[in-house]
Amino acid sequence: MTATPKTTALMQRGIDFLGSEHAILCGAMSWVSERNLVSAISNAGGFGVIACGAMTPELLDTEIAETRARTSKPFGVNLITMHPQLFDLIGVCAKHGVTHVVLAGGIPPKGSVEAIKAFGAKVVVFAPTLALAKKLLRSGGDALVIEGMEAGGHIGPVATSVLAQEFLPELAEEHLVFVAGGIGRGEAIAGYLEMGAVGVQLGTRFACANESIAHPDFKKAFFRAKARDAEASVQVDPRLPVIPVRALKNKGTEAFTAKQREVAALLDAGEVDMGEAQLQIEHFWAGALRRAVIDGDVEGGSLMAGQSVGMVTQEEPVADIIAQLMRESEEALSRR
């Protein structure tokens, strides 16, 4: 008998899909979601996801093997659709028999979903609109993550609460939908489960866990920050559509503005096309995030964080965070 029967019952379809004890995913966070955090999440009954955004196929190969060496529980791999070596990365996942691939960052290119399903893995997709969600679920997506603008990292324009009301009544009966963005406590999880979600995905809340390799200064910046400090980046040039990124405000925020101007000038001069321009922007983020997470450059680097950062106040073991979320959800459901 589980200690959280009501929450577990509402999560059951998500649990069956993920193969984990709880349907709580730790969303992939570049540089943060590596072997240590991913295995800790999965060992604690959640579902860890390796962030492969900034990795070469060789690095992913090693990361999967090292994660496997640390956990026998299921975990996933997050691939960014615009990665120039996407199909090679899928090949690495196939070689290791990865069970779940999360496709993030845009519409999956032709053949990618099929290539993943060909080796038996389940495909998790993101969709910013209901129409696209339906299309992706029709064309091979096995589960959907809806992620609101409260989240850390790259974000869409709509809040989680609104996405949940728009997507869940239409999709929840037939499809598996996980809700992400702005979740800091279990009461919010209970609410989304009652609306039909089969599970949730959190990032910010796990970024500073004991098992996270993020630099101590990166973690300190999170502990100090309040919800309002996690700001969305602004687009400076209407011709260069950049996906907004939510991060703690610092000097790096200004550097991004400068980077956009530089890339817009290259576009104007015809030195790069739009695809290359957007790739340069993404490389900027990957580099800036690395400087903050790994080197502890909390001034110049990117401190990607969601609005739930105000609820991150200390370093805690992953197992404690998951236990707390489950307990809070159960208490909320028991009060109904």
Ligand X SMILES: Cc1cc2nc3c(=O)[nH]c(=O)nc-3n(C[C@H](O)[C@H](O)[C@H](O)COP(=O)(O)O)c2cc1C
Interface map 251-290 toward ligand X (x if CB under 6 A)? ----------------------------------------
Beta carbons of 214 and 207 less than 8 angstroms apart: yes
Q: Contact between 202 and ligand X (CB under 6 A)?
A: yes
Q: Contact between 212 and ligand X (CB under 6 A)?
A: no
3: number of Cβ within 10 Å: 10
Q: Contact between 28 and ligand X (CB under 6 A)?
A: yes
Residues 6+ apart with CB under 8 A from 146: 126, 127, 133, 160, 163, 164, 167, 177, 178, 179, 180, 181
Q: Contact between 242 and ligand X (CB under 6 A)?
A: no
Shortest approach of ligand X to residue 230 CB, angstroms? 8
Interface map 32-71 toward ligand X (x if CB under 6 A)? x------------------x-x------------------
135: number of Cβ within 10 Å: 14
Among 175, 205, 219, 259, binds ligand X (CB under 6 A): 205
Q: Contact between 10 and ligand X (CB under 6 A)?
A: no
Q: Contact between 180 and ligand X (CB under 6 A)?
A: yes
Among 15, 50, 183, 240, binds ligand X (CB under 6 A): 183
Beta carbons of 332 and 190 less than 8 angstroms apart: yes
Specify the residue, 76 or 268, whose C-beta has the smaller distance to ligand X: 76
Q: Contact between 29 and ligand X (CB under 6 A)?
A: yes
Residues 6+ apart with CB under 8 A from 103: 79, 81, 112, 113, 116, 123, 124, 125, 126
What single DSSP character describes residue 34?
A: S
Q: Is 227 exposed, middle or buried (0-12, 13-18, 19+ CB in 10 A)?
A: middle
CA distance 49 to 46: 10
Specify the residue, 32 or 116, whose C-beta has the smaller distance to ligand X: 32
In the chain, what is the greatest distance between 2 CA atoms, to the nearest angstrom? 66
Beta carbons of 93 and 65 less than 8 angstroms apart: no
Options 150-158, 168-176, 249-257, 276-284: segment touching ligand X (CB under 6 A): 150-158
Interface map 77-106 toward ligand X (x if CB under 6 A)? -x-------------------------x--
Binding footprint of ligand X on the chain (CB under 6 A): 27-30, 32, 51, 53, 78, 104, 147, 150-153, 180-183, 201-205, 207, 304-306, 308
